[in-house]
């Protein structure tokens, strides 16, 4: 499905360029109006990122995220610095559809695996953000993409597969916020290696043909942020493009 995305810093919609907090662009759109529009035109899930908390989980989370989840119950996939069972339970109790776990997957994978088993694999999304070397080594980055690890993406995915992880959000950081197009080779490799995982692609979407290509590869969900904010196409056009691909695939 198409999952529109909104990143938030200091209660404002933003986009980073290649995950760089020094290269931030602010948008003055009303958050609640945008979310309402996305839902009106067919979005079933909306990805909301708290970039302040993603950078530092110790930072106190703004109340706007609780208000968003409570206002748009069963639509919000919430991300950014979530690393405690208490916060997971609270977000789910007020109506979050899914909880995205990022840095904690690397910092405490045993705990995250327990969460997947306890809450169910439809409620926990593992977010694995990567920087790819010249030798095609996919190193996971954490703490709002600012800390590079030597842990390879495939190793984490094999470990998570032991508890039947269902949803994995994978971002090629070099494509995020660039409108350069998605890393098709990356997602093609991942779908082939881990066919039971529902991958959410993220980063680089710039035109409707990108949706068609990712759909053909077998990506289950496509996260789209900047191209919607920059009006490269509308959410309705994106949803219709995805549905058209589904229809053609069934023929």
Residue 245 class from Cβ within 10 Å (0-12 exposed, 13-18 middle, 19+ buried)?
middle
Q: How many domains does the chain have?
A: 1
CB-CB contact of 154 with 179 (8 Å): no
Give me the CATH number covering residue 209: 3.20.20.70
Say what the pLDDT of residue 21 is: 85
Say what the pLDDT of residue 57 is: 66
180 three-state secondary structure:
coil
- What is the H or E stretch that residue 246 is in? helix 235-250
Q: What are phi and psi of 206, to 5 degrees?
A: -135, -15
Say what the pLDDT of residue 58 is: 67
CB-CB contact of 129 with 171 (8 Å): yes
Say what the pLDDT of residue 209 is: 96
Strands 147-152 and 138-142, by their bridges, are antiparallel
**Angle of helix 64-71 relative to helix 31-40, nearest 10 degrees?**
30
String of b and e for 116-153 (b: at least 16 CB within 10 Å)? beebebebbbbbbbbbbeeeeebebbbbbbeeebebeb
| 52 belongs to the catalytic site | no
Say what the pLDDT of residue 134 is: 86
* Integer angstrom CA distances of residue 1 from 4, 60, 223, 229, 245: 10, 32, 9, 18, 10
CB-CB contact of 152 with 135 (8 Å): no
| 7 belongs to the catalytic site | yes
The secondary structure of residue 178, as a DSSP letter, is T
Residue of 50, 52, 129, 172 with catalytic role = 129
Range of the domain at 32: 2-250
Give the contacts of 93 (CB within 8 A, at least 6 positions apart).
Answer: none
Could you report the average pLDDT of every consecutive run of 10 residues in the chain (251 residues)? Answer: 96 88 91 97 96 79 94 97 94 97 94 97 96 91 82 96 97 84 95 97 94 96 96 96 64 33
Residue of 7, 50, 176, 221 with catalytic role = 7
CA-based Rg of the chain, rounded to a whole angstrom? 17
CB-CB contact of 75 with 91 (8 Å): no
Residue closest to 204 by CA, chosen among 228, 235, 175, 227 = 175
Say what the pLDDT of residue 246 is: 52
């Amino acid at each position: 499905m198409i999952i529109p995305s909104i990143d938030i810093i200091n209660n404002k919609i933003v986009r980073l360029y290649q995950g760089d907090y020094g290269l931030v662009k602010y948008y003055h759109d009303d958050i609640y109006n945008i979310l309402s529009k996305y839902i009106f035109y067919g979005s079933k899930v909306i990805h909301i990122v708290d970039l302040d908390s993603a950078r530092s989980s110790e930072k106190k989370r703004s109340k706007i995220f609780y208000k968003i989840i409570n206002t748009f119950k069963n639509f919000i996939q919430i991300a950014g610095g979530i690393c405690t069972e208490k916060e997971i339970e609270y977000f789910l109790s007020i109506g979050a559809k899914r909880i995205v776990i990022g840095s904690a997957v690397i910092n405490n994978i045993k705990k995250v695996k327990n969460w997947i088993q306890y809450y169910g694999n439809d409620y926990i999304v593992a977010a694995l953000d990567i920087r790819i070397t010249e030798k095609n080594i996919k190193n996971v980055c954490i703490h709002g993409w600012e800390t590079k690890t030597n842990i390879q993406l495939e190793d984490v995915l094999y470990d998570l597969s032991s508890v039947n992880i269902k949803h994995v959000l994978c971002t090629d950081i070099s494509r995020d916020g660039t409108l350069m197009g998605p890393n098709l080779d990356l997602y093609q490799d991942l779908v082939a290696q881990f066919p039971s995982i529902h991958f959410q692609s993220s980063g680089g979407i710039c035109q409707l043909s990108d949706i068609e290509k990712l759909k053909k590869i077998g990506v289950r969900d496509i996260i789209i942020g900047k191209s919607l904010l920059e009006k490269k196409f509308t959410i309705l056009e994106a949803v219709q493009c995805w549905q058209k691909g589904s229809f053609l695939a069934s023929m």
